[in-house]
Amino acid sequence: MLYFYCCLFSSVQTINDPVHKTIEMHPLCLKIIDTPEFQRLRDIKQCGVSYLVYPSAVHSRFEHSIGVYYLASLMVDSLMKKYEDPCMYKENPIKISQEDRLCVMIAALCHDIGHGPFSHLWERFINRQTKKKWRHEDMSTKIFKRLVEKNNLKGEFLNYNLNDIHISFITDIIAGNYEYHHDKRFLFEIVANKETNIDVDRWDYMLRDAYFFGVICPVEYRRILSYMKIRKTVDGNRIEFRDKLYNDLLEIFVNRIKLHRICYQHRVSRTIELMLIDALIEADNFFFTDRQLNLSNAHEDIDTYLTLSDGLLYNLLHWKNEKLTRAKDILFKIVTRKFYKLIYQTKLKKKIEIEEIQEKLENALRVKNSKIELRILQFELSMGTGGDDPFKNVLFYKKDGSDLKASLPEECKTMELNFCIFSVNDIDEKLVEEMKTLLPQICPEFK
């Protein structure tokens, strides 16, 4: 899908990408790409287990990271061009150095190197197994520092005037920690913007995922780049957009929920996720016994963590260990497409505690069927996070330079919360009906 080639009449090395076409690579970024830590991303699929539903969705975090690098370079270059003439913005002089530009591009390239097998599924596995919040971004910063040290790249960084302070700046951008960089806060909004969800990471995954899923979800990023500037606020310098971009940005949020509805939250994909997490939990205690590590805490040792990729599924499936029988049974059901059965689904008005409901349902139903095992899944579909208005923190300016407050159209403000119950084993219809009558007694939300 990605091919390196050298131009006949230029020393610039480029990558041919199916989404963005020709991408010119900075020499330092090529050095980073050629490290084992970065090459590992070739074996981690961008969309987890979605390829088991959408056969062409086999693209990896490797391609996505290069795509984010490219879009980040376009955005920072657009801002640099706007502010290269200090006379144009006397009221808010902005300085973006070549070192700043390169730091943003490296952060964009390395923002996902901390992902575990099957991307976000690994976070769900760790959080369910350990009851601790673990983020791949934190792992990305650790692996990036290791990548620089282990591959002796500090000298290469110095060749481009990047020292230890710049390396720390890159890790701060990856982590989204702008606490000590208020004058450069706008640089933190380029790669992963937690305030507005308008950033190059989302632009690339939307374009790339849509391409490989076979759906249409355009992102007019070149138009957006043409109509943005930097505003000085009490919380630091931030990116703002011309009011005429409202519909373009709205289309991004609409297309994002479209991808979630059709692809990311596809019922079969989420069912396979449940099954794979069950298999990983069953295998948790029997994997790195020689290192006194489990799968769920492999991230505590970077060398161990870097051995993990999507190949884990078939490694477990074919590993000869009697203690893995349960895990292998689940994995065999996945590859032979014998999935957990959906026995109940509805929509809720607010999130509920699913673990307690699952336990109470299983205990009640096991009186009649001792082998009953249930899995409950709830997920939301909304324009923003948790149903929030995504325009709440987006800054807009009018043609005359004055500010504009914007919000979602009323018809877009609703949040859809889906609730599903799956049966691990076969279950007869009478027991399913009994379960439905028990739900209102267990949880008032079902009355």
In this structure, the number of other CB atoms found within 10 A of the CB of residue 10 comes to 9
Cα–Cα distance, 321 to 319 (Å, whole number): 6
Cα–Cα distance, 29 to 40 (Å, whole number): 16
- Give the ranges where 227-353 is alpha helix by DSSP (H): 246-259, 267-283, 302-305, 312-318, 325-335
Cα–Cα distance, 421 to 357 (Å, whole number): 10
SS3 state at 8? coil
| The one catalytic residue among 136, 166, 182, 318 | 136
Catalytic residue check, 260 = no
User: Residue 197: left if φ>0, alpha if ψ -120 to 50, beta else—which one?
Assistant: left
Return the residue matching tokens 């199916």.
18
**Which run of H or E residues covers position 139?**
helix 136-150
Q: Which residue in 396, 192, 377, 409 sits closest to 273, CA to CA?
A: 377
User: Residue 155: left if φ>0, alpha if ψ -120 to 50, beta else—which one?
Assistant: alpha
- Give the ranges where 233-266 is alpha helix by DSSP (H): 246-259
How is 179-237 classified by DSSP, letter by letter?
A: TT-GGGHHHHHHH--TTTS-SHHHHHHHHHHHHHHT------HHHHHHTEEEEEETTEE
Active centre residues (catalytic)? 136
